[in-house]
Structure 1
Amino acid sequence: MGEPVDVLIVDDQRPFRTVARTVVGMVGGWRVAAEAETGEQAVEEAARLQPAVVLMDINLPGINGIEATRRLLKVDPAAVVVLLSTYNLDDLPGDAGECGAVAYINKEDLTPARLRALRPVEQAG
């Protein structure tokens, strides 16, 4: 097996970060590299760690997840950013589709299978 897929979890609520950490841990070859509570922290951690995948909540204190995604991808364009929220797809902010994230997953639908589908096999190692 190759290098593990490092994941950065970004959410201002500890209970959801705990759930996301558990889900990531259920994906073989994936590991949580770090967690962040704000958009600003997410950008800093991404620059420092260069995680392969970033699970980014939309509603964050400070800059929101959409703006954080834009900034993060300027620092680390190879990151695969997935927006997370409790919004229905039709209720996402209008600029969510233009920030560079590769997907949106409702928090209720975050599963190991959904995560596995995010990374091409050749990149996952």
Structure 2
Amino acid sequence: MPKHILIVDDSRLSRMISRQYVLRQHKDWDIAEAATGEQAIEMAAEKQPYLILLDVNMPGMGGLAAAAILRDAHPQTHIVLLTANVQTSVQVQAEQLGIGFLSKPIKESDTHAMLNNLESSV
């Protein structure tokens, strides 16, 4: 059964790249996109995604705030932060929320490694 993925980033280009990397490995997965943390929360409530790829810096609700809400509402969903902000404080907050972390610019090899890691842990 195909898994549902939610890609959240205010950059359309970043969403397109993330989509492409996921689909190269899993052509049958269903991917939805959101441009804000608020949209991500609404869409996750409807779709119950397997994985949420979530940018940290977005207008309105940022990725860390959205991740905290999403983690509480969807404890079984895998959440991975995508950010160019690789400060230790962001990584620590991600760890405290129990979510993954990938640095931007996102690389296809890192995306595939993350997906393989998620699938092997199930």
TM range (shorter): 0.7 to 0.9
| Structure 1 contact 67–99 (Cα < 8 Å) conserved | no
* Gaps in structure 1 of 5+ consecutive residues: none
Moved more, 59-68 or 8-17: 59-68
In the alignment, which residue of structure 2 is the partner of 1:13? 11
The size of the alignment, in residue pairs, is: 120
In the alignment, which residue of structure 2 is the partner of 1:22? 20
In the alignment, which residue of structure 1 is the partner of 2:71? 73
Describe the superposition over 1:71-118 as per-residue Cα deviations: whole angstroms up to 9, x where unpaired. 1122211110000001225363653332231x1001234324223234
2:61 equivalent among 24, 49, 63: 63
In the alignment, which residue of structure 1 is the partner of 2:36? 38
| Structure 1 contact 43–68 (Cα < 8 Å) conserved | yes
Moved more, 84-93 or 40-49: 84-93
Structure with more relative contact order (C-alpha pairs < 8 Å, separation 6 or more): 1
Describe the superposition over 1:35-94 as per-residue Cα deviations: whole angstroms up to 9, x where unpaired. 111101111111100010000001111111111011112221111000000122536365
1:105 equivalent among 79, 85, 102: 102
**TM-score, normalised on structure 2?**
0.84
| Structure 1 contact 27–115 (Cα < 8 Å) conserved | no
Look up the SS of the partner of 2:6 in the other structure: strand
**TM-score, normalised on structure 1?**
0.82
* Gaps in structure 2 of 5+ consecutive residues: none
| Structure 1 contact 57–65 (Cα < 8 Å) conserved | yes
